[in-house]
Structure 1
Amino acid sequence: MISSLRSNFSSARRRALCIASDGVSLYQWDKGSITDAFVFDVDDVGLANFERYLGETPKVPIYLMVDVVEEEYRHENIPHLYGSDRQAVIERKQAWFFRGTPYCHVMMQGREAEGRRDDKLMFTAIINPDIVIPWVRLCTQNKVALAGIYSLPILSASLLAKMKVTSNDVLLVTMQGSSGLRQSFFNDRILKMSRLAKLPRLGTVPFAPYILRELGKFERYLTSVQLLKGAPLDTYILAHGETLDQLEQACRNTETVRYHLLDVADVARRLGIHGVLTTPFSDHIFAHLLLRTQPKNHFASNEERRYYTLYQTRAGLYAASVIALLGSALWSWFNLIDGVSDRQLARDAEKKAVFYQARYDREKGRLPPTAVSPADIKTAVDIVDTLTQHKAAPLGRMEVLGQALAGFPILRLEEIQWTVSTDPQAGTGAATPQVPPVPDTGQATSYYEIAEITANVYPFDGNYRAALDQINRFGEVLRSKYQAHSVTAVNLPLDTRSSAQIRGDTKDVSIPEKAAFSVRVVFGAEHANG
């Protein structure tokens, strides 16, 4: 049956479903704390009531926690591997230890200090999956997001951290109303072993003698498996009321055991749980820890968590949409402010323009009349400035050409035609550059000085190859040493183009005294003359 049923489900944002052998409790997270439990029986009626509950409530995520006797633990060392090799070894160990259950979990617990430093692992599993499967199946059928399946003993480590326990060997003892007496042993705050024992019904018999008897059994077991190695065992027991009073009278510290008795209500208050707990049971504390910390999944498969993945995706898209909407609104507000500011600046600029135009017209009216308008005078002045800036004399370039020709005695100058233009190709036909132009220096070229050189090779012995080589070297010197923009051959002693026709008289074997040629040299105005 369902106890303490309420109708106000809409405020819950996540829920904890705690499965035990005697009942299933469901807690809802509301405004930073949990509500009273909804209890379902572990039978067909309880499953039917749970299904009805899922159908009548919002589909907020469920965190499923298990506290049953059928949870086993195995410790094993494996080689220190990575990636798929490590996963394959772990899966093989799980299949060997726990056959027939999909609910397995492995925890890394350090490495060996000596030898090959193997990894120390603890394997745990719910060996009777039928305890969990019916409840998980109902969540899946109702498309409720299952965040994960969790182990209460593993979750106990976070309780030790909240209680700021720093002892090496710790035995944490808690009582749960629907499962019993849970005893979890930690070494260096790492879970090593846990045991669940049945408890008599509250109020029927004194709890203290029964608890101490069960603790004695577990301590002897820990000693037999060499988990206790002589250091004192700090035993933390959570209880309340009459049970706590009985334990205070019965517990006596020894050389091997030190007892620390804690009131459940004080621990709950330290964890921020609202209200006062009036029973010795810690069910509320673990449900609160689970929903507040929201740890990583222990046992659930990806298939069982698929609706939770969709829930997270939907929540992420919603958050991204809200952020995008707020960003757009903020951007629109800034644009509006900028628009208003720009409009005000435009108005101010317009007022200034009107003001200065009026002053200009007034001052212009005071001037004596002239035959030429001020605008035309400004244009004429600008033209004069431009001509002054771009005037050029050939003397500097003549010196450059003279220095270049001095290195080639057989090249005799006959004529130079010098021009200035803003177009480096001015006055050219389809001439082919003899050497490549100088690479761009990054300076702006305002105009070009162009020299059309007519010269000849003298004396000429009929060796056209040598003559062409001298001309090419002359052009290369102009380009590399004197930074010519381009050197272009206009006429050569011998036309070497593939399209040229060879003409002559085979009977005429005379050799001319000189081989005439002409080149076009272009200098950029950014290069200094000489």
Structure 2
Amino acid sequence: MRGLIVSQLHLFYLSSEGLDAWLWSGGALSHRASFAPGRAGVDAFIDYLEPYGATPAYVLADLVEEDFQRLLLPHVGGKAGRNLLARRLQQQYRETPYRRATIQGRADEGRRDDVVLLSALTNPALLQPWTEAMELLKAPLGGLYSASMLGTALVRTLDLRGEDKFGHLLLVTRQSAGLRQSYFLDGQLKFSRLTPSVDRDGDAVNVAVEVARTQQFLTSSRLLERGVPLDAVLLAPEADLAALAQQCKDGPETSYHFIPMTEAAKQAGMDAAPALADGLLLHLLGDARPASHYPLGAEGRYYRFWRARVSLYASSLVLAASALAWMSVNLWGYAQASSAAAQLAQETSRYDAQYRAAMAPMPPTLAPTADMKAAVTVDRLLAAQAPRPLEMLSVLSMALDRAPQIQIVSLDWRVGDGAGAANANAVPGLPADPAMFGPGADGAPVTTPIPSRLLGIPQRAAQTLRVEAEVRPAHNGYRDVVNSMNQLAQDLARMPGLSVAIERPALDMRPEVKLSGKADMNEPAKPHQFVLNLVQRP
């Protein structure tokens, strides 16, 4: 709840005497109004609350009708454990929706069960008229708190817990609802009791007598063992401390400690000390705003609506701020880009002027500048991408080094994928198209321009190398001839980007061809010719 930043809050102190309305604003409390129980008081409360509209509200209940039960339950985790607590809580307090179960650790002995404190506001009729009035006005009710449970925050604020502090602590405070005594064991609330602060004659009750009764109850209920000292801490205005010191004398099992209200208010961060502990508890509630002690159910739906609305507003503000920052960055970038563009335009104009001034005294060139630039670009492309047979010849040479029995007869290198390799009139290194060369109509030679794609513009062109070779085996053996040719073809095919096709094998293995020879191994071997087509693609 603390994550939502609001300008002001309504804090309502509820007791059997009625409802007190306080306003929390800027970290300070101010009392607004008091309303008596009954129909007239509720109507006055509605009239008071209506102008405040959507101001979040928190109720601090300080009632006699608050019960505490300490139980040991089996240690069960997960959903089963939650269901066990819910069933036990339902069995203990059937008549009220304002109930709570708090696990306070585990037992030291036996099966180490969970130590559970069950608490409830046993008379919901004291609260419902006020909560129904808030629901009628759609006021966002954010939480229902117990004055006794909020005493835990007071113990923490006053630094009364710890190994070097009070293990068995009885915190005694005088409030509008009466005299409240809350018992803490190692900083955890175990029991709380609210009694009238004045007797039937209107005189203040004897605090020492009430502390003795509470100590006797704690001993009989085995919350406090016999012989264990109890530290009673009394919180009161400084003017009442002397009278309390006369009443409360240390005994063998009881030690009294007194804290002035001014000191407590200072530790809580209050500017002025309140007369009663109500203001101190309300200040702690407004400053911390912890999770609700008791569930509200449907009574808290307008608070959930309010939180969603505030979250949407906050998200919208963040989105608007992000958009503003993004727009500012874009505007700054646009200004920077515009400035850089203007500077570049000035530099371009200056360089153009310098170029014209440098070119003015020079004689006119035979070709325009654009043509010269294009020629340089073409020259660079030709130097980088023009087809050359050197790479294919290098690959062929390395393969022949591993096949000394094979000799080259002829090589035919062409640019292209080999589609025109069968044309006998093709010119090596050029497309096999006879229309590109030959005499014209008047008998003069005519040359057709070579397509740029065959020169490597805009990308490298495919190259074809027709290899005519012969195998010269050491002995007459057809298997050696075929193996030598196949080995050369396989070595070449392993080169990246190079494909190999056998145009004419060394031996014609077709079924219709007659294969003849002699088995005389001493007869000199005859060469066998074959043709390979190599195609290299970029």
TM-score (norm 1): 0.78
Q: Percent identity?
A: 27
CA positional deviation for 1:300: 2.2
How many angstroms apart in 2 are the aligned matches of 1:343 and 1:145? 53
Q: Secondary structure at the match of 2:298?
A: coil
Would you say the 8 A contact 2:503–2:533 is kept in 1?
yes
CA positional deviation for 1:50: 1.7
Would you say the 8 A contact 1:61–1:308 is kept in 2?
yes
- How do 1:352-391 residues align onto structure 2 when only pairs under 5 Å count? 352-390=347-385
Give the 3 Å change call, closer, same or farther, for CA 486–41 of structure 1 in structure 2. farther
Corresponding residue for 1:226?
222
How many angstroms apart in 2 are the aligned matches of 1:356 and 1:299? 81
Larger radius of gyration: 2
Q: Which stretch of structure 1 is more off in the superposition, 281-290 or 239-248?
A: 239-248
- Structure 1 position 154 matched with structure 2 position 149: yes
- Structure 1 position 522 matched with structure 2 position 522: no
Give the 3 Å change call, closer, same or farther, for CA 413–287 of structure 1 in structure 2. same
Corresponding residue for 1:103?
98
How many angstroms apart in 1 are the aligned matches of 2:283 and 2:418? 89
Would you say the 8 A contact 2:18–2:37 is kept in 1?
yes
User: Could you tell me which of 273, 281, 284 is aligned with 1:286?
Assistant: 281
Corresponding residue for 2:250?
253
Would you say the 8 A contact 1:462–1:512 is kept in 2?
no
* Unmatched runs of 5 consecutive residues or more in structure 2: 1-5, 422-457, 518-527
User: Could you tell me which of 187, 207, 211 is aligned with 1:211?
Assistant: 207
Corresponding residue for 1:21?
16
Would you say the 8 A contact 2:410–2:469 is kept in 1?
no
How many angstroms apart in 2 are the aligned matches of 1:426 and 1:140? 92
- How do 1:12-411 residues align onto structure 2 when only pairs under 5 Å count? 13-166=8-161, 167=165, 168-177=167-176, 179-200=177-198, 204-207=202-205, 210-229=206-225, 230-240=227-237, 242-277=239-274, 279=275, 281-390=276-385, 393-404=388-399
After superposition, give the CA deviation of every residue in 1:358-413 in whole Å (9 maximum; x if it has no partner). Answer: 11111111223332344433433343343333456434423423544676899997
Give the 3 Å change call, closer, same or farther, for CA 394–27 of structure 1 in structure 2. same
**Aligned-pair RMSD on alpha carbons?**
3.6
Q: Which stretch of structure 1 is more off in the superposition, 239-248 or 291-300?
A: 239-248
Would you say the 8 A contact 2:207–2:247 is kept in 1?
no
How many angstroms apart in 2 are the aligned matches of 1:286 and 1:160? 11
CA positional deviation for 1:248: 2.0
CA positional deviation for 1:309: 0.9
* One-letter amino acid of the counterpart of residue 464, structure 2: A
CA positional deviation for 1:213: 0.8
How many angstroms apart in 2 are the aligned matches of 1:203 and 1:475? 124
After superposition, give the CA deviation of every residue in 1:484-518 in whole Å (9 maximum; x if it has no partner). Answer: 2142648698xxxxxxxxxx99xx57459999775
Corresponding residue for 1:436?
none
Give the 3 Å change call, closer, same or farther, for CA 60–488 of structure 1 in structure 2. farther
User: Could you tell me which of 452, 460, 465 is aligned with 1:447?
Assistant: 460
Give the 3 Å change call, closer, same or farther, for CA 516–70 of structure 1 in structure 2. farther
CA positional deviation for 1:61: 1.2
- How do 1:398-437 residues align onto structure 2 when only pairs under 5 Å count? 398-404=393-399, 416-420=411-415, 427=419
Would you say the 8 A contact 1:80–1:119 is kept in 2?
yes
Would you say the 8 A contact 1:22–1:41 is kept in 2?
yes
Give the 3 Å change call, closer, same or farther, for CA 206–128 of structure 1 in structure 2. closer
